[in-house]
Amino acid sequence: MRLSSLFTSKTPVSSAILAIAVFTLSATAQDRTTEQGEAQITDPNQECIGYSYAPMAALAGKFPAVWQPATIVSNDTDAQAKYQSIQSQIPNIQPKGTQPASLGGDFSGFTPTYPSSDPDCWWTYDQCTTPKLAGLPPDLTAVPEPDTLGYGFDDGPNCSHNAFYDYLVEKNQKATMFYIGSNVMNWPLEAQRALADGHEICVHTWSHRYMTSLTNDEVFAEFYYSMSTHVMKAIKMIVGVTPTCWRPPNGDVDDRVRAIAHALGLRTIIWTYDSNDWREGTADITAADIDANYETLITRQQNGTFATEGVIMLTHELNNFTMSEAMKFYDQLKATFKYIVPMGVAANQTQPYVETGYSLPSFDQYINNTTTVSGGASPTAGSAGATGSGTTSSGSATGSSSKGAAQKASFDGLGMLAAGATFVGVALKLLA
């Protein structure tokens, strides 16, 4: 998914303020202090009204600015020490292109001089997934079990995801959620729901930039402030676990970025098949085009394409359209593929986090209906993660399937610019 999809503004701030005025009184009737309370909201517009979450106050000044390329916070001596400790593991590979154009994937001035042999195993250039630098594991691009779909969603947590997550609960389906650190900061209770529902959480970087365009310290910061266990950062601090997996935004990775990820304990996950669901509404791409992409995958499975090795499909928790597409086609996928499993389950990665209080089932356990082995109820921010049974918080699988509500509220209008602005006593986040 291209960076512009995260930041396209469709609704003036004045309209957002009017919407807030309409919904604030009803929002105050909801419990917006716990994951369980937040999960009960069924109106997607109400879900996407910013809220005040008290434990976030302790995080002030400890993170980079949301939705900006991450850099090491000046007074963060732990981050500085960690970065210095991995210096010897970072290869002498230069960033690709020139910022700021390269941050959004414009490498047009760089690729003409890049060697055709692709010495850096640069996915964006040659879709290379087997590192050329010694000591790095290959990217996970498919799942080893035949007739199996690796199921996961990028770009969450989305503020209006309750109807989608309720649907997954109804189907007893777990998935891998690739969370953006800035979204975790903006929507902490939504991030906690993934763990409470038993999904696997992986890192999708701090600001969703093209990673090969960043300097070494920026690459480090994009990972560190999303997941670090050395000192509690976004996913760790808010959800209570430290992921061991990541997916590069836009697939943009090379051996330099892989080396930094590997030094921080992250395995790289790409995909086999792209739904291109995020493209709906851009250029001339319609919902029918995305339907056709899903249908093509189903046809390939029916034709035996994945009879010896399974497939990872790239899909998104980006907005109500992409989540609705997932619900629309789930039953067809379930009827066509023998198994649908999270990435960690597909790879028999039963220890998904650094913390030992949470385990994923093995592939054999999962396909025999043990979809949760052990998990944690959503922790209070700042905790190290609680252990116990994997619980779910669900309401009815209802809610709008309109793309506009989620995209406008999650990425365009409510939640990205001024965290902590107060309106009628409720802290709001507005995007100009």
- Verify whether residue 43 is a known catalytic residue: no
Q: Are 2 and 250 in contact (CB under 8 A)?
A: yes
Q: Which entry of 154, 166, 277, 412 is annotated as an active-site residue?
A: 154
Is the CB of residue 35 less than 8 Å from the CB of residue 165? no
316 is catalytic: yes
Instruction: Classify residue 271 by its DSSP letter.
Output: -
Any idea what DSSP says for residue 281?
Answer: T
Residue 113, phi-psi category: left (phi > 0), alpha (psi -120 to 50), beta (remainder): alpha
Tokens for 268, please give them: 């790289």
What's the distance, CA 121 to chain centroid?
23
144 neighbors 127 (Cβ within 8 angstroms): no
Among 403, 366, 421, 383, which residue's Cα sits nearest to residue 24?
421
Q: State how far the alpha carbon of 404 is from the alpha carbons of 94, 121, 160, 253, 312, in Å.
A: 39, 38, 11, 31, 27
- DSSP per-residue codes, 58-124: GGTTSSPPTTS-----TT-HHHHHHHHHTGGGS-S-PPSS-TTGGGGT--TTTGGGS-TT-TT--HH
Residues serving a catalytic function are 154, 316
